[in-house]
């Protein structure tokens, strides 16, 4: 960052000559609830989902700008906590909050734009997957969906093992594997995406853009004990959370089969001729999060 907040605009260094840019809009009641998440949680989550998109292009996040609409009676403590959340999540990714604006609104509305630097690498898009590639994931899958299910069922504060608060916290504050995006680019990833709307749905975007089929082996998917315990309590299927749950902001990527992936990446399937996403040999609908679903 060459010029930070305080002027009409910030100035970021772009040694690569190309700038990765992404933006998201978050609306109270649609994307978050203030009775479920603190201002700090919301700031962390809003920053994370944008910074993860930058990492999914193979870039290193550098900064965010924030637009905020809030009711007149919004407390200063809540606003300070929101700002702290933005700052701390940016610090996790090696980025900075470089500016923003705010206005009065009937509900809290957040618009976040993030920037990143490719460091001389080509961007990793959704359209480069090739038949014969392997499909791998890094980061958590299904945790945020399990946490949301606990909140919706009113079971977030029930007594129990440490898995309960950990899953609820996963919904409130995702942990994107930021450094894995540039790592994947350096390893020769052919396609990559931020898993924000569900693994099947987001891999479906890669399949469509690349004009290939993606086959997932459900036995290879990571389903930790915490998901199994929550699912048993709620009468749910933990694999369904892993396949269709959003908001974890894991990364899914395709790689040439000969690439040796470092620890932290799990191979879950392969790319083939055809179209769509298959799980255990059966084509499945994309499912996941739909921003226009009522």
- Quote the CA–CA distance of 152 and 253 in Å, as a whole number: 31
Per the structure block, which two tokens stand in for 151?
């909140």
Q: Do the annotations mark residue 22 as ligand-binding?
A: yes
For the chain, give the longest Cα–Cα distance: 58
Q: Do the annotations mark residue 143 as ligand-binding?
A: no
Q: Do the annotations mark residue 248 as ligand-binding?
A: no
Q: Do the annotations mark residue 7 as ligand-binding?
A: no
Are the beta carbons of 225 and 124 closer than 8 angstroms? no
Q: Do the annotations mark residue 249 as ligand-binding?
A: no
The C-alpha angle with vertex 203 and arms to 202 and 209, in degrees rounded to 5, equals 95
Closest CA to 51 of 171, 156, 194: 194
Q: Do the annotations mark residue 62 as ligand-binding?
A: no
- Quote the CA–CA distance of 98 and 143 in Å, as a whole number: 31
For 115, the enclosing helix (H) or strand (E) is strand 109-117
Q: Do the annotations mark residue 194 as ligand-binding?
A: yes
- Quote the CA–CA distance of 164 and 232 in Å, as a whole number: 12
Closest CA to 247 of 9, 36, 1: 36
213 strand-pairing partners: 272, 276
CB atoms within 10 A of CB 285: 11
Q: Do the annotations mark residue 53 as ligand-binding?
A: yes
- Quote the CA–CA distance of 222 and 216 in Å, as a whole number: 12
Q: Do the annotations mark residue 84 as ligand-binding?
A: no
Q: Do the annotations mark residue 106 as ligand-binding?
A: no
Which residues does the annotation place in the binding site for ATP?
100-101, 126, 196
Which residues does the annotation place in the binding site?
8, 22-24, 31, 53, 100-101, 126, 194, 196-197, 247, 289
Which residues does the annotation place in the binding site for substrate?
31, 247, 289
Which residues does the annotation place in the binding site for Mg(2+)?
8, 22-24, 53, 101, 194, 197
């Amino acid at each position: 960052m060459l010029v930070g907040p305080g002027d009409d605009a910030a100035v970021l260094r772009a040694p690569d000559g190309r700038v990765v840019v992404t933006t998201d809009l978050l609306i109270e009641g649609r994307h978050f609830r203030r009775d479920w998440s603190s201002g700090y949680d919301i700031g962390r989550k809003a920053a994370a989902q944008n910074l993860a998109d930058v990492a999914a292009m193979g870039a290193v996040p550098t900064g965010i700008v924030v637009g905020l609409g809030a009711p007149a009676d919004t407390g200063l403590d809540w606003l300070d906590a929101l700002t702290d959340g933005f700052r701390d999540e940016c610090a996790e990714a090696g980025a900075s909050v470089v500016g923003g604006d705010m206005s009065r609104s009937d509900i809290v509305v957040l618009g976040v734009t993030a920037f990143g630097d490719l460091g001389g690498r080509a961007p990793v898009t959704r359209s480069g997957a090739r038949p014969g590639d392997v499909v791998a994931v890094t980061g958590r899958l299904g945790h945020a969906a399990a946490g949301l299910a606990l909140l919706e069922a009113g079971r977030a504060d029930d007594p129990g093992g440490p898995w309960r608060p950990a899953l609820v916290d996963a919904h409130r504050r995702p942990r994107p594997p930021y450094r894995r995006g540039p790592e994947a680019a350096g390893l020769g990833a052919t396609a990559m995406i931020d898993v924000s709307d569900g693994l099947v749905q987001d891999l479906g975007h890669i399949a469509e853009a690349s004009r290939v089929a993606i086959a997932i082996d459900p036995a290879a998917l990571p389903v930790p004990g915490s998901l199994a315990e929550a699912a048993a309590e709620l009468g749910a299927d933990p694999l369904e959370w892993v396949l269709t749950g959003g908001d974890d902001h894991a990364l899914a990527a395709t790689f040439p089969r000969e690439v040796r992936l470092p620890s932290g990446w799990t191979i879950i399937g392969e790319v083939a001729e055809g179209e769509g996403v298959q799980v255990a040999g059966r084509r499945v609908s994309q499912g996941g999060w739909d921003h226009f679903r009522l």
